[in-house]
Amino acid sequence: MKKNKISKSWVIRQRRDKYVRLSKLEGYRSRAVYKLKELDEKFKIIKNNLNILDVGSAPGSWTQYLSEKSKGSKIMSIDLKKVEKIKDVYHVVGDFLDNKNQKMITDYFPKKIDLVVSDMAVNTTGNKNLDSIQTGELSLTAMHFAIGMLRPKGIFLSKIFMGSTFNEIVENAKKNFKESKIFKPPSSRKDSKESFIICKNLR
């Protein structure tokens, strides 16, 4: 009974959500695209002719936006779930945390990466503290990988949740990048604990 109530509530919220409606109207795979769009508009992240890695890419709306906005770029996306093909994008189905897949990414970008974006998050358990910790660990893993792969003026962008790992992520960002900002896009739901960290220029 409780599951049915939650499911019904989710359906109602989706129908009322202007970003869900807009994403369908504009042909994007999820409302999440507007978070990246707002981040890009504020921080000028995406340009043409970049090497770009999209981590945790399913269902693919961020990859769609990257492909449209960054002309002439070399783009790879990776996710545990299969992502429907997007033009001029190399899709990998697999676990980003797997060393084999990280080696594949390194081999695909021999000349380093300009931009790493991560919208990775664990499947929610209902325990907000646990979800925050696990998603924070994903963000830290993506950041450490990005530090080794980015060009000196490269950019790392990642979803983070408020919680016990928040300060550790911020400290790592300050230690390894000259610029780091936290931003919650307008399209991010008010009741969500998510924000995004934008890191620029390696130290």
Domains of the chain: 32-202 (3.40.50.150)
Q: CA 46 from chain center: how many Å?
A: 13
Measured between alpha carbons, how far apart are the two ends of the chain, in Å? 53
* pLDDT computed for residue 161 by the predictor: 86
Active site residue 159: yes
Tokens (6 digits) for 168:
């550790």
Cβ neighbours around 181 below 10 Å, total? 15
Cβ neighbours around 138 below 10 Å, total? 21
Tokens (6 digits) for 98:
């797997």
Q: What interhelical angle do 33-43 and 18-26 show, nearest 10?
A: 90
| 3-state SS class at 148 | helix
Mean pLDDT of 29-48: 97
| Structure confidence by residue, pLDDT tens digits, 147-202 | 999 999 999 999 998 877 899 999 999 999 999 999 999 999 888 889 999 999 99
pLDDT > 90 fraction of the chain, expressed in percent and rounded: 78
Mean pLDDT of 27-53: 97
The model carries a pTM of: 0.89
In 17-127, alpha helices (H) = 18-26, 33-43, 61-69, 99-108
C-alpha radius of gyration, the chain, whole number: 17
Contact 62, 39 (CB under 8 A): no
Mean pLDDT of 108-118: 96
Q: Which residue of the set 159, 184, 190, 193 is catalytic?
A: 159
Q: Which residues contact 124 (CB under 8 A, 6 or more apart)?
A: 131
* pLDDT computed for residue 7 by the predictor: 55
Tokens (6 digits) for 186:
């307008």
Q: What CA–CA distance (Å, rounded) separates 103 from 85?
A: 22
